[in-house]
Amino acid sequence: MIEIKEDQLEHILDRAIQSISSDDVLQLVSITKSINKTDPLTFFDGVKTLKKDRIFWTSTTDEFCLAGVGSAYEISADEARFEITEDRWNSLLDEAIIYNPYQVPGTGVVALGGMAFDPKKKQTALWKKFKPSQFTIPEYMLTKNENSYYFTVNIVVKKDDHPVQLAKGIMEAEAVIFSNQTSASGNAAISKKKEIKPEQWKETVRQATEEIREKQTEKIVLAREMRLKFNKHAEIGQIIKNLMDTQSNSYVFAFEKGEDCFVGATPERLVKLENEHLLSTCLAGTAPRGATPAEDKKISNDLLHDDKNRQEHDFVVEMIKQSIKKYCTDINIPEEPVIYPLKNLQHLYTPVTAILKNSYSIFDIIKQLHPTPALGGTPKKEAMEFIREHELLDRGWYGAPVGWLDSNKNGEFAVAIRSGLIQGNEASLFAGCGVVKNSNPEAEYEETNIKFLPMLSVLGGQA
């Protein structure tokens, strides 16, 4: 399946080790090969035997998937996280030895990761495994791009490393990865479900509407948490499978850190970059799906013309437009939103396309956009202060950018909503909604209830 032979691998590693000038240089070697069709979920389940953290990502269709295991190199940052991450990424690539004849997006050196919604909010024990910003270059990674499949090995070599030993370790791991056809072991069932302080949350919504009426802000997004217990350990591979089976038009992602795993199926693109073509999305304004096509159509129509939802949406459109102006040319934003249908709900949707000026990177765009008023509010600073002070929740990575970027300036980031933190046989789910001046706390509460459904339904096993 894999063309590269052990002696070639040894040779590549040997040359890389020889080229290291000093003891403290970290030299990344990355080797990509084209492989036969390999199901990303089977790969994800198979690499479990390596007992290392795994990462999974699909785009909104399963035409594009990444699955990785282990960490050849990690870039984490706290303060100035965008700048530090970009600097370290660029220095790593400057030195890296990359064998990738394909140049297909998502192959070669790829960093996958995410970040905390608000690094200024006090971190609780809930998110202790997740850093304010954390990107991983996996040791082994599968890329599915349309009907082509690629396997990448990444390894950081040091001056005194032994090429023969390293090559042997890699070949052994590959044998394990591709021989192991374990499949997911079935759904866990929810044995206990607890909403965290729902009445207090509604009161916070009311306070936010007051704040808005007093003209401190225009929109504030407030989220809440639901805590679950299962009858056994939840199986991440099974959860991903259920999400892929049920949540179309959504990015399915999983970031594993030991026993904890942040998983979700989010419809919200933050930014996609392919050959300087930029695509962003305004997604805000929500209604349930109808039981019949006629009812569904009526709900869509009402949503498209509902003042309160249009307001929630328009704040996002305006902010994205203003934020990318300096960084892009050829910005194209339709005048009116359309409906974005999902299994359990529907949203107002406006796509944004542009060309990124070549002096800027995906990090510049993420930094400008996060958080959009879809997850923070308007104005950004005031809304964030309100959330920091009043929201009862440590959002952790919920509501923040998660995604990947490669060494050829391609990448895609989604906003991590419709998600949960799985912790063995327990989990926390998160859902929020945009509060504007005439929000009704009870109606917003109901809206968050439908936003819990994508995760709840796949966790209970009654998808």
Ligand X SMILES: C=C(O[C@@H]1C=C(C(=O)O)C=C[C@H]1O)C(=O)O
Catalytic residue ranges: 219, 268
Q: Is 417 among the residues that bind ligand X (CB under 6 A)?
A: yes
Per-residue CA distances from 296 to 265, 288, 293, 418, 425 (Å): 22, 8, 5, 21, 36
Subset of 228-267 contacting ligand X (CB under 6 A): none
Q: Is 434 among the residues that bind ligand X (CB under 6 A)?
A: yes
| Rounded Cα gap, residues 126 and 108, in angstroms | 33
> Please, what is the minimum distance in Å from the beta carbon of residue 206 to ligand X?
16
Q: Is 418 among the residues that bind ligand X (CB under 6 A)?
A: yes
Nearer to ligand X, 221 or 261 (CB): 221
Q: Pick the stretch among 49-57, 202-210, 298-306, 426-434 that binds ligand X (CB under 6 A).
A: 426-434
Nearer to Mg ion, 220 or 239 (CB): 220
CB–CB of 403/212 below 8 Å? no
Does a cis peptide bond (omega within 30 degrees of 0) precede residue 379?
A: yes
Q: Is 303 among the residues that bind Mg ion (CB under 5 A)?
A: no
Q: Is 283 among the residues that bind ligand X (CB under 6 A)?
A: yes
Longest dimension (CA), the chain: 71
| Rounded Cα gap, residues 26 and 252, in angstroms | 32
Give CA angle at 336 (331, 341), nearest 5°.
Answer: 105
# chain residues binding Mg ion, by CB under 5 A: 3
> Please, what is the minimum distance in Å from the beta carbon of residue 382 to ligand X?
18
Nearer to Mg ion, 28 or 287 (CB): 287
Q: Is 312 among the residues that bind ligand X (CB under 6 A)?
A: yes
Quick note: the x/- pattern for Mg ion over 280-299, rule CB under 5 A, is: ------x-------------
Q: Is 441 among the residues that bind ligand X (CB under 6 A)?
A: no
234 binds, among ligand X, Mg ion, none (CB under 5 to 8 A by kind): none
> Please, what is the minimum distance in Å from the beta carbon of residue 129 to ligand X?
21
DSSP for 48-106, written as a single string: GGG-S-EEEEE-SSTTEEEEEES-SEEEE-STTHHHHHHHHHHHHHHH-EEE-S---TT
Nearer to ligand X, 155 or 226 (CB): 226
- 447 marked as part of a ligand binding site: yes
Q: Is 433 among the residues that bind ligand X (CB under 6 A)?
A: yes
Q: Pick the stretch among 69-77, 146-154, 351-359, 427-435 that binds ligand X (CB under 6 A).
A: 427-435
| Rounded Cα gap, residues 417 and 429, in angstroms | 10
Tokens read off for 89: 């990424």
Give CA angle at 70 (429, 67), nearest 5°.
Answer: 65
Q: Is 451 among the residues that bind ligand X (CB under 6 A)?
A: yes
| Rounded Cα gap, residues 56 and 69, in angstroms | 9
**3-class secondary structure, 359:** coil
Q: Is 285 among the residues that bind ligand X (CB under 6 A)?
A: yes
Nearer to ligand X, 52 or 308 (CB): 308
> Please, what is the minimum distance in Å from the beta carbon of residue 212 to Mg ion?
14
> Please, what is the minimum distance in Å from the beta carbon of residue 447 to Mg ion?
5
Please report how many Cα atoms fall inside a 13 Å half-sphere around the Cα of residue 453, on the Cβ side: 16
Q: Is 375 among the residues that bind ligand X (CB under 6 A)?
A: yes
Those residues with Cβ within 8 angstroms of residue 157's Cβ, 6 or more apart along the chain or in another chain:
13, 16, 17, 20, 27, 29, 166
CB–CB of 159/23 below 8 Å? yes
Pick out the residues of the known binding site for Mg(2+).
312, 447
User: Which residues of the shown chain bind ligand X in the complex (CB under 6 A)?
Assistant: 221, 223, 268, 283-286, 312, 347, 374-375, 417-418, 431-434, 451
User: Which residues of the shown chain bind Mg ion in the complex (CB under 5 A)?
Assistant: 286, 433-434
